[in-house]
Each structure stands twice: as structure tokens, then as C-alpha cells.
Amino acid sequence: MANGEIISGFIAPHPPHLVYGENPPQNEPKSTGGWEQLRWAYERARASIEELKPDVLLVHSPHWITSVGHHFIGVDHLQGRSVDPIFPNLFRFDYSINFDVELSEACCEEGRKAGLVTKMMRNPRFRPDYGTITTLHMIRPQWDIPVVSISANNTPYYLSMEEGLGEMDALGKATREAILKSGKRAVLLASNTLSHWHFHEEPVPPEDMSKEHPKNKIGYDWDMRMIELMRQGRMDEVFQLLPQFIEEAFAEVKSGAFTWMHAAMQYPNLPAQLHGYGTVIGTGNAVVEWNLVKAGLARMAGKAA
Amino acid sequence: MTIVSAFLVPGSPLPHLRPDVDSWRQFKVAMENVGEKLRASKPDVVLIYSTQWFAVLDEIWLTRHRSLDVHVDENWHEFGELPYDIHTDVDLANACIESCRAAGVNARGADYESFPIDTGTIVACNALKVGTPELPVVVASNNLYDNQAATEKLAALAVACISEKGKRIAVIGVGGLSGSVFTTAVDPVEDRVVKKVEDDCNKKILSLMESGNIQALREALNSYAKEARAEMGFKHFHWLLGALDGHFKGAIVHHYGAIYGSGAAVVEFSI
Ligand SMILES: [Fe+2]
């Protein structure tokens, strides 16, 4: 029974601009495109998901912030309209999401057993955050794979980065336990931007790519340094540098998704596949995959372990 | 004076979702009471700033004539929903946007169905019974890159702009006092300001408000934001100071207490 496994993990950033640039029917504002490099990166990630055929997608987003513990969506289905509070001109999206409540509850329980404060979100009128929705849409626009949605407990900001990332490490390990016991094949999504310095004015139109470039050199240089280490599989070094990266590049990975995901995958020193990199209003975004099936660490769909 | 009343109120949903908890209900009651005082001051419009409405690029103003929806708080979803029906004076909000632009502050409106109005704005409108068709609001966001001085400037600009139209204004700053909270489940009955030093800082700042000694208050504010981990650098109070042109005669603290470890107060300013 206990035959579940994590088959792949992605850094899957959530700028709503990517949804806006794609023009899916669910999003009310329409664009003439833009941010193609990142959208093509997501096309490659989508192809990987198609091949992997996961039973469940788990997503950790920095835009569902909780101050008491780690929360998990615990209702079967949510639908409604999500409007981005920062970019309401770009993202007004009609979502319809099915959740894997059984696995959410298992993650919640394993977290509790590991000493974390955890809580199920049972309110049927709850609105998932736009980060979760954007990441899910960009990775699987068919919306046909059930989801486990996890909040970002704000300890990295409220206490210290070290304590906060320690919490995320424990959450990742608990998530792994739950997945192993579930018998399911899971993909993890760390919904995080890398360098987070951004412009304070939006071009007109927002998709004018002649205005899109890294906000500053320090952010860009850090992104390239971290991505190169990831591509080489030097993940120990990535994690050693992470606090400095967060400080100097104002990186959104501070919110914990990246640490959660790698802890759940047991910090594999595996070369990552970079599906692509691009900036969004100056911030650095990479779609990066650690495919454990390709690495021989997990089985293909339909093959017993 | 076109400002006819001014209030500081907490933006936590707990007093409204859990009025069964005695200590939390007292905030709700105090907010309802100051709501009566606000309405008795006969304003034409209520100018609101809530720390929980984050803006990052431009200064965003609510420009939707009527916002009708049901809100679920991202932290306290288990305690139910906050329905709301908020009416905005769109012409005045647009005038504030124009006035921001003229002053070199990037600004724009938010007029979208299902726009995520923040918990603080919702609880303030509901408890104080403002944002009605008879008493509409103008709501400004908290740009995270604005400091205290920029927030004062923004409020002053909004007041000048609305006054120019001959309107009487009530002003509300929505936010808490000290910011440390319990990070584990606590029995609400056991709630208290989690850190003694923050409790002391809160009491000191409130007594300075009561005294109306603005100079001493301004001096204390410098260290208060840091020592008390004040919510959002206490920018909601700076909003009030900016709106009041840096002057008030004193204050009545209608209630002070704890909300899940943080400090909070309902304060009415004498102007
Ligand atoms: Fe983000």
C-alpha cells in the first residue's frame, strides 16, 4: 500500500502576467502576448507533466500567508473569481479547482506529528490566493489533476529566516511521509520567484516587452549563479548560499516553498533541468525541474516499484 | 475644519467573527460605539486607510461604486465569513487619484467585481456602519514601499482634495498596535498582549494620544514602531496625523486589549 512517491519537483513561479500573456478563456483581461520566454518555459514543463501523469499536484504559495501554523485546503472543490490585488488589471480569473482532501489531511496530520502547528481549511467560500492559481494554471491548464494547497506560514518573516526555513524543512519531510503512505505519485510545485527587485511603474501596455529586463544587476547575477549551481546539481551549495541569496536578491524563496520542496525530495544533489528564465516587471523567474523519474529515483506511470 | 471626526480601529476579524469571546467582543462594541459618534459628526464621506490592503506599484484607490461580496479571512477561515456591502464615493476617489498624480504619486483605481477588499476595511465599514449609500467611503491602500512620512503626505493630499469639494470628512486609520502574536493555538479566554514590553509601549503611546501632546507623541513614535513591532510601522496612525494636519487636542481610548497576542485599541480623537 505505502507505495507513493514524489516523481518530480518544479520551481513554478506565479507572476499573473504569464496568464495574462497567454489569454486563457478563464482570464477576463486580454493581452497581445508578452513574456514568451517564460510561457515557453512553462510549455516544456507542461510536456513533462503530461509525460509524468501524476496523481496529484502539491503547491506551496507565498500569497496565502498564515500566522498560526501551516494550513491545507480541505474541501473537495472551490470555484469562483480570483482578482490579483496588485495587478487587478491583468488577472481576473475564473477558477474551478478539485482538491485531494485525503492527501491534504495526511500532510496536515504528518506535520502535526512532526511538531508543527497545522490546520485544515474547511470553509467552502474560501478564495485560494492568486499565486496558487497562477502556478497551477501555468503548469497544467487542463485543471484535471487534484491539488493539495499549502499556505506559507510567515515564520521566515516573523521570527528569523533560519527558524522559518527550519519549519519549511520539517513541513517538507512531513509532506514526504504523507505522500509515501498515500500510494500516490506526486509532483511538487514551489511557487516562487527568484530575485524579487521590481520596477514600480507598469509600461503601457503592460506587455510592452521593450521595457522588460532585470531590475538590477545584483538580482540578475544572483539568479544566474543559483541557476548554474542547480543545473550542475550542486544543491548543497545552493542551500548554503540561500540565506545570502535571499538577503541580497530579495528572493521570494524566503517564503519557504523552495525549501519545503527540496526537503520533501530529500535534497537530491541532482542536476536540474532549466525549462527557461525570464523577468517579469524586473523580477527574475525560472521554471526549473528536478525530475526524479528521469534520474531513476522514481518509477514511470503504470510501473510498479 | 472639514475633518469632523477621526478614529483608530483594529482590523482584526476576530472581534467580529468571535463575539462570544468576552475580551474580543469589547472591541466590537467599542467600534460600534465610535461608529455612532462618527455618524453623529455628520460627515459627507469617510476616508479610510487599512494596513491590510497592500499595494506595491501604484497607490490604489477603491473606485467601485458598490462592492458586495462575502469575505473569508486567510487566517481565521474556521470562524466563518464577513459579508459586506460597501459604497464608495467614486467621484471623490477619482479626484484623489488625480490629486496624487498631480503630486507625482503614481495612483490608479480598482473597480473590479470580486476585487479582494481587505479584512480591515471590511470590519471597519461593518462595525462603524459606514460605506452605506448615505455615507460612502473613500478607501486608500497601504503601499508597502511608502514610509510613515509618505503616508502622512498621502492623507493630507486626500483631505485637501476632498475638502476642496466642500465635503465634511470623517477619517479612519485601520490597524493594530503592537505586532507580536501567538503563533500556536491559544484558548481565546487566555488572550493577552504576548510581550510585556509591547504592552507597556502600547499604554505609553495611548496615554500620549490622550494627552494631545503631539510633540512628545511624535518623539515617542520613532521608537514605538520598532519596540512594539507595531503593525506596519503604525502607518495607519500616521495616516490620521497626516489627515489632521498634525494636530489634535486629545483622545478617548474606548478600548484597549489583546487580539491573539497583538495589541489593539479603539481610539477617538478630539479635534
Ligand atoms: Fe509573489
- Helix or strand (DSSP H, E) at A13: none
State the distance from the centre of ligand 1 to the C-alpha of B109, rounded, in angstroms: 21
User: What is the rounded CA–CA span in Å between residue B10 and residue B119?
Assistant: 10
- Helices then strands, each counted (H, E), chain A: 9, 10
pTM (predicted TM-score) = 0.96
User: Residue B12: what pLDDT?
Assistant: 98
User: What is the rounded CA–CA span in Å between residue B175 and residue B142?
Assistant: 11
Question: Any alpha helices (H) in chain A, and if so which ranges?
Answer: 16-22, 36-52, 101-113, 130-139, 155-158, 161-182, 217-231, 235-249, 257-264
Neighbour tally for B101: CB within 10 Å: 14
* Residue A274: all three cell numbers together: 532549466
User: What is the rounded CA–CA span in Å between residue A261 and residue A257?
Assistant: 6
User: What is the DSSP code (8-state) at residue B190?
Assistant: G
- Angle between helix axes A101-113 and A161-182 (nearest 10 degrees) is 130
Q: Which residues contact A221 (CB under 8 A, 6 or more apart)?
A: none
User: What is the rounded CA–CA span in Å between residue A160 and residue A115?
Assistant: 18
10 Å CB burial of residue B18 (0-12, 13-18, 19+) is middle
State the distance from the centre of ligand 1 to the C-alpha of A251, rounded, in angstroms: 10
Q: How does pLDDT run across A64-106, given as a tens digit for each residue?
A: 999 999 999 999 999 999 999 999 999 999 999 999 999 999 9
Name which of B57, B73, B142, B186 to mutate to probe chain A: the one with the most chain A Cβ atoms within 10 A of its Cβ.
B57
State the distance from the centre of ligand 1 to the C-alpha of A282, rounded, in angstroms: 13
Residue A141: cis peptide before it, omega within 30 degrees of 0: no
Rounded mean pLDDT, A296-302: 80
State the distance from the centre of ligand 1 to the C-alpha of A153, rounded, in angstroms: 14
The amino acid that residue A258 corresponds to is: F
The full DSSP string for A259-283 is HHHHHHTT----PPEEEEEEEETTE
Check: CB of residue A169 under 8 Å from CB of residue A251.
Answer: no
Q: How does pLDDT run across A167-180, given as a tens digit for each residue?
A: 999 999 999 999 99
Check: CB of residue A72 under 8 Å from CB of residue A146.
Answer: no
Chain A nearest C-alpha distance from B183 (Å): 5
User: Residue A300: what pLDDT?
Assistant: 72
Instruction: Kindly give the confidence (pLDDT) of every residue in chain B, 271 residues in length, as a single tens digit, with 9 standing for 90 and above.
Output: 599 999 999 999 999 999 999 999 999 999 999 999 999 999 999 999 999 999 999 999 999 999 999 999 999 999 999 999 999 999 999 999 999 999 999 999 999 999 999 999 999 999 999 999 999 999 999 999 999 999 999 999 999 999 999 999 999 999 999 999 999 999 999 999 999 999 999 999 999 999 999 999 999 998 999 999 999 999 999 999 999 999 999 999 999 999 999 999 999 999 9
Q: How does pLDDT run across B28-81, given as a tens digit for each residue?
A: 999 999 999 999 999 999 999 999 999 999 999 999 999 999 999 999 999 999
Name which of B18, B77, B144, B229 to mutate to probe chain A: the one with the most chain A Cβ atoms within 10 A of its Cβ.
B77
Supply the mean pLDDT for chain B. 97
Q: How does pLDDT run across B228-239, given as a tens digit for each residue?
A: 999 999 999 999
State the distance from the centre of ligand 1 to the C-alpha of B23, rounded, in angstroms: 36
Supply the mean pLDDT for chain A. 96
User: What is the rounded CA–CA span in Å between residue B261 and residue A213?
Assistant: 43
CB pair distance less than 8 Å for B53 and A85: yes
The amino acid that residue A141 corresponds to is: P
- Give me the residues of A, 158-217, that contact B with CB < 8 A: 158, 198-202
Q: How does pLDDT run across A257-275, given as a tens digit for each residue?
A: 999 999 999 999 999 999 9
10 Å CB burial of residue A30 (0-12, 13-18, 19+) is exposed
Chain A nearest C-alpha distance from B37 (Å): 32
Say yes or no to pLDDT of A232 above 80: yes
Percent of the residues in chain A that have a pLDDT greater than 90, as a whole number: 92
Contacts 24+ apart (CB under 8 A), A243-250: A243/A161, A243/A162, A246/A161, A248/A218, A248/A222, A249/A194, A249/A195, A249/A196, A249/A197, A249/A218, A249/A219, A249/A222, A249/A223, A249/A284, A250/A195, A250/A196, A250/A197, A250/A219
The amino acid that residue B88 corresponds to is: T
Q: Which residues contact A123 (CB under 8 A, 6 or more apart)?
A: A75, B72, B77, B78, B80, B81
Name which of A79, A82, A86 to mutate to probe chain B: the one with the most chain B Cβ atoms within 10 A of its Cβ.
A86
User: What is the rounded CA–CA span in Å between residue B232 and residue A4?
Assistant: 43
CB pair distance less than 8 Å for B57 and A201: yes
CB pair distance less than 8 Å for A121 and B78: yes
- Give me the residues of B, 41-70, that contact A with CB < 8 A: 53-58, 70
Say yes or no to pLDDT of A2 above 90: no
Q: How does pLDDT run across A21-41, given as a tens digit for each residue?
A: 999 999 999 999 999 999 999
CB pair distance less than 8 Å for A198 and B56: yes
State the distance from the centre of ligand 1 to the C-alpha of A196, rounded, in angstroms: 8
User: Residue A159: what pLDDT?
Assistant: 86
Check: CB of residue A188 under 8 Å from CB of residue A292.
Answer: no
State the distance from the centre of ligand 1 to the C-alpha of B199, rounded, in angstroms: 33
- Give me the residues of A, 213-252, that contact B with CB < 8 A: none
Q: How many residues does chain A have?
A: 305
* Residue A171: all three cell numbers together: 513541513
Which residues in chain B are closer than 8 Å to A198, comparing Cβ atoms? 56
* Residue A164: all three cell numbers together: 522559518
| Interface predicted TM-score (ipTM) | 0.94
Query: At B199, phi and psi to the nearest 5?
Result: -60, -45
User: Residue A305: what pLDDT?
Assistant: 44
